[in-house]
Amino acid sequence: MLFLAKLSDVTNFPKLLGPSAKLILAAGLLATSTGCHLVSSAQKAIPANRLPKDLFDCPRETLAPLPFASLGQTKPADHLIGAGDELSVYIYGVFPPTEDETPIVQRAQAINQRYYPARGSQVGSATGLPIRVEADGSIDLPLVGRVNLDGMTVSQAKDKILDEYRDEDILQEGRERVTVSLLLPRLNRVIVLREDTPNPAVALNSPQVVDQIHRGSGEVIDLPVYENDVLHAMAATGGLPGTDAAREVYVIRKEAGLTGQFMNAGNLQSIVSGGQGDGCAPGVIRIPLAGCPCEAVPFTEADIIMNDGDVLFIPRRNEYFIAGGLLPGGRVPLPRDEDVDVIEAIAMATGSAGGPLGRDGSVLAIGRVGSMREPTRVLIVRSLPDGRQMTIRADLDRAVYDPNERIRILPNDVVMLQFKPSAAAIYSTLNWFSGDGLLNGLTRLDD
């Protein structure tokens, strides 16, 4: 009976209060019932102004473009003979054996005109008969057999052939007539796969639009020796990557596709220069087109040379941040060459850092005084390269005058706009006391 009596006193407690006490009780309930979740979700977050600016990657606006000449190989002063070259050789009385006059070979190239030769078809004449350099760098000549010319210049090849015939006493001293010229240099057929837009007509999208339909391009081109590099391959297929592509390219060696394995779960960015990576995808070389100032280029000249069957891959850029909380939810694309801080990110997510409720001044048309206070706390959930997660807390009130508070937004960040606990309590209290909120609350207390 005593317990029931106490329970009856508790349930009748609101009826025992006066009007002033009921107002105080309502305000206290509002103040204590709001903001608990906001405090718990932000208590372990790191303040943005405590993080050094160089903690994460280099700011995009400070990135320096790559010296594009480093994407091309050094051309030697003279052509060095190698497998695949087609030479024109004439040896008087021997090659050809029945010609009394010097034979003239007409040459015309009918190969892929997309790039090579750079000035169109080359039609001309050469002295001698055509002969192709074999895979081991040698040519087969009558009476002396195979002569290795690999790595020699044309003049050195002429001297080598002359010495071979002299050693066999085939040519009379003083009456030698040997001519060697380069008829067609060797070619390297490479494939260029681009995920940026091949259409020269530029389509402009608003910052909030995510392009889900995209079409890439691919071309097979023939590059002559000493021009078989990344620079010439890009120049022949559209130039530098567009703004919808990343500022990086990948050279995928032909041998890398023969392992029967996927290239590191599709994350090419984790593979370092030189094709070493984590041992999963050898032969894949990353070539960055921009980097921090004064930083050494992370590749060598051997990395940018493309051999027969290699693939040059230009990936598409997929860089977004996720908007949530009081912001309209969605994925917002990040610009490629500019940095976006927390205030700009909120504005890009169709919000306004200085407007009520993160929207615009149209909220004031509601007429509620609680709408006069906008949310000013931002939680940024960031994934670290080692797989861990970091939560960063930014204050928009401080960000207006403190540059250290305007933290940069990185790809895959989750940006959530929230009220501070005090602002949430004030907002709820003001809206409660305005309109019918207070009257309805007091009515419930009397029931």
Residue 52 burial (CB < 10 Å; 0-12/13-18/19+)? Answer: exposed
The chain-wide mean pLDDT, for the chain, equals: 75
Helical pair 19-33 and 437-446, crossing angle rounded to 10 deg: 110
For 40-61, give the DSSP string: HHHTTPEEGGGS-TTSSSPPGG
From CA 252, how far away is CA 257, in angstroms rounded?
A: 8
Integer Cα distance of 183 and 88 in angstroms: 6
Q: Is the pLDDT of residue 116 over 60?
A: no
Cα torsion at 226, 227, 228, 233 (round to 10°)?
170
Of 162-166, 173-177, 371-375, the least confident: 371-375
**pLDDT at res. 105:** 64
The first and second tokens of residue 158, run together, are: 């002429």
DSSP state for residue 296 in the 8-state scheme: P
For residue 90, the cross-strand partners are 179
pLDDT at position 137: 93
Which of 226-230, 253-257, 273-277 has the least mean pLDDT?
273-277
pLDDT value for 433 = 61
> Model confidence at 80, in pLDDT bands (50, 70, 90)?
very high
Closest by CA position to 289, among listed 218, 338, 240: 240
pLDDT above 80 for 182: yes
pLDDT at 2: 39
Q: How far apart are CA 344 and CA 335, in angstroms?
A: 11
Q: In the predicted model, is pLDDT for residue 106 greater than 50?
A: yes
Domain range summary for the chain, segments of one domain joined by +: 20-59+339-446, 64-74+188-314, 86-184
Phi, psi angle pair for 361, to nearest 5°? -70, -5
Q: Which of 125-139, 208-222, 266-280, 397-411 has the lowest mean pLDDT?
A: 266-280
β 320-325/414-418 pair status: parallel
Rounded to an integer, the average pLDDT of 131-141 is: 93
Which of 82-86, 117-121, 201-205, 244-248 has maximum average pLDDT? 82-86
* Degrees, nearest 5: CA angle 92-82-98: 20
In the numeric block, which tokens belong to residue 39?
A: 């405090």
CB within 8 A of 29, min separation 6: which ones? Answer: none
Q: How does pLDDT run across 328-380, given as a tens digit for each residue?
A: 888 888 988 889 999 999 988 865 545 444 444 444 444 444 455 678 899 99
Residue with the two structure tokens 């080598």: 160
Q: Using one digit for the tens of pLDDT, what is the confidence trace for 258-316?
A: 666 666 544 555 544 344 444 445 678 889 999 888 888 888 899 999 999 999 999 88
pTM here is 0.73
- 86-184 belongs to which homologous superfamily? wza like domain (3.30.1950.10)
> Cβ contacts of residue 358 below 8 Å, gap of 6+?
326, 327, 346, 351, 352, 374, 375, 417
Identity of the residue numbered 359: R
Task: Name which of 99-108, 117-126, 140-149 the model is least confident about.
Answer: 117-126
- Mapped onto helix, strand or coil, the DSSP state of residue 343 is helix
- pLDDT: which is higher, 173 or 323: 323
